[in-house]
Amino acid sequence: MLAPGMSRFAKPPIAKAIVFVLCLAPLAWLAHRGLTAGFGAHPQEYVNRFLGDWALRFLLIALAVTPLRLIGGWPQLARFRRMIGLYAFFYATLHVLSYVVATHFFDWAEILKDIVKRNYITVGMVVFAILLPMAATSTAGMVKRLGPKRWQALHRLVYLAGIGGVFHFFMMVKADWREPLLYALILAFLLGYRVYRRARRFSNPGKSSFGT
């Protein structure tokens, strides 16, 4: 239970504003670092990896909302899922932009060759392509226009995006696979939990269930 004085902050507008600002913190940190210490010897790589890391982290946080809601018993969390998902798309967009502008400086021929020939770039671009229609249909109006069933089917692509995102990271590593492995384990838990609930619901059809 929240302390009575605190409950005010858990109310939708304030809580949402707080989460909104929190999600901008990595970008603010990046800007701060750029203005103070700089991005080091290979700034294009630094910025690109930083943005990619956060795109993947937000994707995993978005995927963690439902399990946390059900395991922790915090139904209020559902409110933040769309915003977090959109932030994943936001950081992924910046990640792709930095790849085009900073890494390759608009060298379209090289970029195209990369996308076709380099498996981890191909996978990364597929993930970005998956996130696009999800971001485009994130409004309440789009839910109505598509109908909840079709909308939900479309947004189940997030599981594929999560798997692709972790693969994308794994595939670019030279020797130190510890960090992508950590992400893979977290993702396995988040997806495994959903499979587990489905299986249990299937074997106990009497019990009510909520969530996907």
Partner 1 sequence: MLIKRLRAADPKGSDITPRAVFEGRRTLLKAAGLAAAWAVAPKSASAAKTVARGEPIPNVVKWPKSATETPTAYELATTYNNFYEFGFDKEDPVRNSKDFKARPWTVAVEGHAAKTGTYDFEDLIKPHTLEERVYRFRCVEAWSMVVPWVGVPLGDVLKRFEPTAKAKYVAFQTVLRPEEMPGQRLPLLKWPYIEGLRMDEAMHPLALLTVGMYGEWLPNQNGAPLRVILPWKYGFKSIKSIVRIAFTEKEPPTTWNIATPREYGFYSNVNPKVDHPRWSQAKERVIGDPFFSPRKPTLMFNGYEEDVAHLYKGMDLAKLY
**Residue 116 CB, nearest approach to partner 1 (Å):** 11
**Residue 118 CB, nearest approach to partner 1 (Å):** 6
Residues near 176 by beta carbon (within 8 Å), at least 6 away in sequence: none
* Near partner 1 by CB under 8 A: residue from 9, 29, 74, 177: 177
Query: Closest Cα to residue 158, out of 70, 80, 64, 71?
Result: 64
Q: Does 154 bind partner 1 (CB under 8 A)?
A: no
Round to whole Å and give the CA distance between 5 and 112: 56
**Residue 22 CB, nearest approach to partner 1 (Å):** 16
Query: Closest Cα to residue 162, out of 57, 84, 91, 78?
Result: 57
Name the residue nearer to partner 1 (CB basis): 115 or 132.
Answer: 115
SS3 label, residue 138: coil
In the structure encoding, which two tokens stand for residue 145, read together? 């226009």
Q: Does 43 bind partner 1 (CB under 8 A)?
A: yes
Contacting range for partner 1; rule: CB under 8 A; set: 7-15, 31-39, 153-161, 182-190: 31-39
Query: Closest Cα to residue 162, out of 138, 179, 186?
Result: 186
Q: Does 169 bind partner 1 (CB under 8 A)?
A: no
Size, binding site for partner 1 by CB under 8 A = 32
Q: Does 118 bind partner 1 (CB under 8 A)?
A: yes
Q: Indicate the length of the chain as a whole number.
A: 212
Binding residues for partner 1 (CB under 8 A): 31, 34-35, 37-45, 101-105, 107, 110, 113-114, 117-120, 171-172, 174-178
